[in-house]
Amino acid sequence: MSQRAPIGVFDSGVGGLSVTREIRRLLPGEDILYYADSAYCPYGDKDPALIRRRERTILDFLLSLGAKLIVVACNTASSTGLEELRQISPVPVVGMEPAVKPAVNATRNGKIGVLATGVTIAGDRFASLVNRYAENTCVITQPCPGLVERVEEGKINDLETRNFLMGFLQPILDQGADTIVLGCTHYPFLRPLIEELAGPEIAVIDTGLAVARQVSRVLTENNLASQENRPGKEQFYTSGDQTRVSHVIRSLWLTDNVSVEKIPLSP
């Protein structure tokens, strides 16, 4: 595998861009392929068997474009099918998990809240995280149905989203959590709003930078890190509405210089 080959990243939609932007900041010379599976978004209300099929299909697509490493930039997809992807992929696969361990280290009163999809919260990977790192910590889980869709529509700071989000935050705050984990890659785009609504005394944690650092480590360990002395490029793909997804990606990526190609990929 060539060091000049791209990194492949995918998510149920545009949420994985929160991880991709950290990869871009840390690894400015790497080319990146990003697949937003927007036609099937959100994954959080889908059957796990369907999610695993989508993961395998997208893996094959990114490998066909020469990806040297795959990032599953989705907590739900990681919870559902990460281990299977690692078994079948000929290249390294990096996944996501909610930042329970950092939150346990950060909490002052022993109470943390986790915002995530229902599939992530109910998954074995999340249960394992809590068992390993939060035995003596109160973990307050809050599924957030509909929140991913707000980000997918680019509605990250309007009044409806504020009211919607407060409905998820209030139960966590009422139970006294002093630390909140963003357990979905869509949610970091709502972080400024979450911090405003939760208040300055509440710590908010996500895993984007940690995943970017892991990508860097894996590339180095496998002698796959780019040695090119040039800025890396991005190419975006989606299974959804090309016009709508392009608009949202431009908004979240903070540039109009974005190319999005529609590649539906059959189930």
Catalytic residues: 74, 184
Q: Are 13 and 184 in contact (CB under 8 A)?
A: no
**For residue 52, what is the enclosing H or E element?**
helix 48-64
- Phi/psi for 205 (5° steps) reads -130, 135
Please give the span between the terminal C-alpha atoms of the chain, in angstroms, as a whole number.
28
**Would you give the DSSP letter of residue 1?**
-
**Spatial distance between the Cα atoms of 216 and 210, rounded to a whole number of angstroms:** 10
For the CA atoms of 69, 228, 34, 246, what is the dihedral angle to 10 degrees? 180
Instruction: Report residue 40 as tokens.
Output: 């099937």
Bond prior to 200 in cis (omega within 30° of 0): no
Q: Residue 33, SS3?
A: strand
Q: Are 16 and 185 in contact (CB under 8 A)?
A: yes
Kindly report each contact of residues 167-176 with a partner whose C-beta sits within 8 Å and lies 24 or more positions away, as own/partner.
168/115, 168/142, 168/144, 169/113, 169/115, 169/142, 169/194, 169/197, 169/198, 171/140, 171/142, 172/113, 172/115, 172/140, 172/142, 173/113, 173/198, 173/202, 175/111, 175/113, 175/138, 175/140, 176/109, 176/111
